[in-house]
Amino acid sequence: MQQNIVAAPALAAEGQRKIEWVRRNMPILRQLEAQFAAERPFAGKRIAVCIHLEAKTAYLALVLRAGGATVAVAGSNPVSTKDDVVAALAAEGLHVYARHGAEPDEMRRYMGLSLEIGPHVVIDDGGDLVELLHESHRAHGGEMLGACEETTSGVLRARARAKARQLLFPVVLVNDARCKYLFDNVHGTGQSVWEGVMRSTNLVLAGKTVTIVGYGWCGQGCALRAQGLGAHVIVCEVDPIKAADALMHGCRVLPLAEACKLADVVLTVTGVRHTLRAEHFPLLKSNVLLANAGHFWEEIDVAALGRLAVERKELRANVEGFKLKDGRWLNLLGGGHIVNIACGDGHPAEIMDMSFALQALAARYVVERAGALAPDCHPVPAAVDEHVARLKLAAAGVAIDALTSDQRQYLAHWQA
């Protein structure tokens, strides 16, 4: 197999500096790194990783290697790949295939190269490696023990394949662990999305009307932080329960066509293709900001927007203006890619510390249960989820209470 694809080897020192910074701020992974180095749970195993390839992901890959794994890494999104971090991983001796700004076909080729390692475990973001192992790269999956999925979008894809009884190996749904969605999805997305929007525009949110399309855990986090920054939040949903939840959290709830007319900012957070599409663009106010915080860059139909435009130009870094026939300008952030990584540094290190600890422990679970897990979707074991929470509290110097034996007996008894 090809050893590496690295665009800028000379940047390795800068990438190593970034990795060291996140390492200092990821105490759970540091603890697992030391534990894995002593126990070597992945000795003789090969792991392919396809997540946004920046410093936090790089540190996860190094933690897996500390556990004895041979690791191959590819980026899950072309705009989130940091060439200096890629160079640093290559200098560390890992197999790495990524380049910032890679075209879709090139990205797919890089993902395929990471699978040439013949993985036992895949750590995935959006289900791309799992998809390849079921389609064009089946030949590389003969020793697969299981996959660990990071995102809501990837979970949906895995569940659909499982429902059709087409899964070839078990998939652990890391995204569905409480230590993932209650922290990464809510607090990580909520902070990093608006950081990306504000960094790329240098504009204020206070007083603006923000339309958030999708009120899952990520949408909730974005709405919460937008409210905290002084924005008026409108939520658009197809799920009546989520819509009712948004209403009870102080958001206005409207159909998207109505919300578009009022929005100063439209943020898609659905994981669904063409959430914001041709029929919506003529409804938007001039100078509106359009951003995507879902998994795929297809949530905003950029091709349709381009067809409607009589002019398009870069207004500032990561902001492209589309001029419509009537003179209105619609401003697209990050090319429609995920705004917190296209226009920022992604989730904070302390948040990803929890998510990547879950990934590392889920990978160990897959290896330890080799042959015992059916080719289906599996939850992260509750004990693993709770263990990560306790590690987080310990790292923060926080102690909590415990039930007394009398209280445990009371809760276990069915009689009043």
As annotated, the residues of the chain forming the CATH 3.40.50.1480 domain(s) are 4-180+347-395
Judged against a pLDDT cut of 90, whether residue 142 lies above it is answered with yes
pLDDT of residue 415: 60
CA distance readout (Å), 135 to 104, 105, 141, 166: 17, 15, 10, 11
- The identity of residue 227, as a single letter, is Q
Confidence of residue 12 (pLDDT cuts 50, 70, 90): very high
- Residue 1 pLDDT > 80: no
- CA–CA gap between residue 39 and residue 97 (Å, rounded): 28
Confidence label for 416 from pLDDT (cuts 50, 70 and 90): low
Mean pLDDT of 146-168: 95
Number of other residues whose CB lies within 10 A of the CB of residue 3: 13
The model's pLDDT over 204-237, given as tens digits with 9 standing for 90+, comes to 999 999 999 999 999 999 999 999 999 999 999 9
Task: Indicate if the pLDDT at residue 26 is higher than 80.
Answer: yes
Which segment of 45-49, 165-169, 323-327, 408-412 scores lowest on mean pLDDT? 408-412
The residues facing 232 across adjacent strands are 209
Instruction: State which amino acid sits at residue 309.
Output: A
Per CATH, is 4-180+347-395 categorized as 3.40.50.1480?
yes
Summarize the confidence of residues 126-144 as an average pLDDT.
96
SS3 331: strand
- Of 75, 50, 77, 49, nearest to 64 by C-alpha is 49
Say if residue 269's pLDDT is above 90: yes
pLDDT at 243 over 90: yes
In the chain, ranges of CATH 3.40.50.720 domains: 189-342
If you average pLDDT over residues 63-67, what whole number do you get? 99
CA–CA distance, 208 with 231 (Å, rounded to integer): 5
Range in 54-63, 74-83, 261-270, 313-322 the model is least confident about: 74-83
Tell me 380's DSSP state: P
* pTM score: 0.93
Mean of pLDDT values over 138-166 = 95
Residue range 189-342 in CATH 3.40.50.720: yes
